[in-house]
Amino acid sequence: MKNVFEINFDSLVGPTHNYSGLSEDNIASHKNEGLSSNPKQAALQGLEKMKFLADLGLKQAVFPPHPRPLISALKHFGFKGSDEDILRAAQQADPHLLSAVSSASYMWAANAATVTPSLDVLDKKLHITPANLVTSFHRTIEASETAQIFKSIFKNSSLFTIHSSLFSSASLADEGAANHTRLCPKHGVQGLHFFVYGRSGLPNTLPRPKYFYPRQTLEASQAIARFHQIPATHLFFAQQNPEAIDAGVFHNDVICVGNENILLYHEKAFLDTSEVIKNLKMTYQSLYNEELYCIEVAESKISLSEAVKTYLFNSQLITTPNNKTILITPTDCLESSSVNVFLKELVSTKSPINEVRSLDVRQSMLNGGGPACLRLRVVVTEEELAALPRGIFMDDDLFYSLTQWVKRNYREKLLPSDLGNLDLFYESRQALNELNEILELS
Ligand code: SUG
């Protein structure tokens, strides 16, 4: 077994964090459209979460926010002139478009990319494919900036391969690690890659949801597995349950979370869940000669709608350096009696999960993003870790600098109708300039 580390990368929430109702299939985003957001509180909640993980002894790193509003995206719609002219014209002509190019949705780092550790692949390099996020316009504009960020962090091309995003087509719609789980007895052992898709992107007869358009395609997941050179023996694909998608499960990480040899999921997560789990367990057993702990939550205990409301399955499941397994839930779970009962049972002596902790990420939750959405997991070797820039790793000093930076630069109240405000545009630009010096990234 290799000595490896799992790094959680969280994106810093940006100064334009707002509730614009941009994701139809995401119940929280839809329901909270038009609410007043608090970007300062959102960014501070994100930092508290990162500090919490760093204090547990995990490696925690930050991604910078993307520039928003993204003026270059407005140029694709025919707007011309200075940045200020473009902003004014877009606000007048199409406030929805302005909301889309102002969204801070890059904060959900689980959608930034799919990552395969070097110990899992044939060429022994760490592979990253930034997600194309083609299903929604406000998210697809993240892809090129995300690629730049990866290039500035994972610079050493003899250790890291950063692929282009998959070709921008509905057939290859890709939402990154939110639909991918790496299973293995320990992080340092070659992983089994569990990819979950919502639909096929080619003519097919697979069952489909009635109301919502599934985001991840089977072909996108297969393409990533090929680009990343994951051996066929270590691949497993399953389809999301169309009923779950219609209940608001727009990504698999809203209904399933895994870590090492544990998989926690809802009874209605997959199309024919019992068959999927039976085959997944068999594959795991034949690879590792030991059991995959599958913890299934029955509909009778926690309904699909309660699972979506509380985001229980969007918890982070982590192993601490002293080998404890902790489930980090959003505090919203504490408000549900059925989820509370379940969590109490879960940490009983028989379960492989030792502890449950809760974190307040309410500002993100109101847009449908819980703790697991906010992080991208990257398993690295010692040599790979040493090749990453130091300035992005969370510690007491970085936490202090970033907290002060947020307090200096962020607003406490923002409405979607404020997004065309020129002062907000200048403030956001100023904040990002200051941040470059703190993180020491180009
Ligand atoms: O893509 N919400 C995001 C939430 C993504 C959560 N990520 C994971 N499950 N991994 C989305 O739907 C809402 C933005 C708005 O409405 O203003 C938004 O984009």
Give the 3-state secondary structure of 217-229.
EHHHHHHHHHHCC
The yes-or-no answer on residue 333 being catalytic is no
pLDDT of 442:
67
Q: How far apart are CA 59 and CA 53, in angstroms?
A: 8
pLDDT tens profile 341-397: 999 999 987 889 999 999 999 999 999 999 999 999 999 999 999 999 999 999 999
Question: What is the structure's pLDDT at 208?
Answer: 96
Low pLDDT (below 50) residues in the chain: none
Give dist(CA 335, CA 179) in Å, integer.
27
pTM: predicted TM-score of the whole model, two decimal places = 0.98
pLDDT value, residue 90: 97
The reply to whether omega before 67 is within 30° of 0 (cis) is: no
Which fold does the domain 4-68+103-439 belong to in CATH?
L-arginine/glycine Amidinotransferase; Chain A (3.75.10)
Cα 196 from chain centroid (whole Å):
14
Query: How far, in Å, are 81, 96, 100, 141, 417 from residue 422 at the CA level?
Result: 15, 17, 17, 21, 12
Question: What is the atom index within ligand 1 of the atom nearest the CA of 103?
Answer: 17
Closest listed residue to residue 212, CA positions, set 180, 171, 176, 243? 243
Ligand 1 proximal residues by C-beta, below 6 Å = 19-23, 26, 29, 103, 105, 108, 110-111, 139, 178, 250-251, 253-254, 367-369, 373
**What pLDDT sits at residue 72?**
97
pLDDT in the model for residue 2: 83
Residue nearest to atom 19 of ligand 1 (CA): 105
**Hey, where are the domains in the chain?**
4-68+103-439
390 residue type, one letter: R
First to last CA, the chain: 35
Ligand 1 probe mutation, 13, 19, 20, 29, most atoms within 8 A of CB = 29
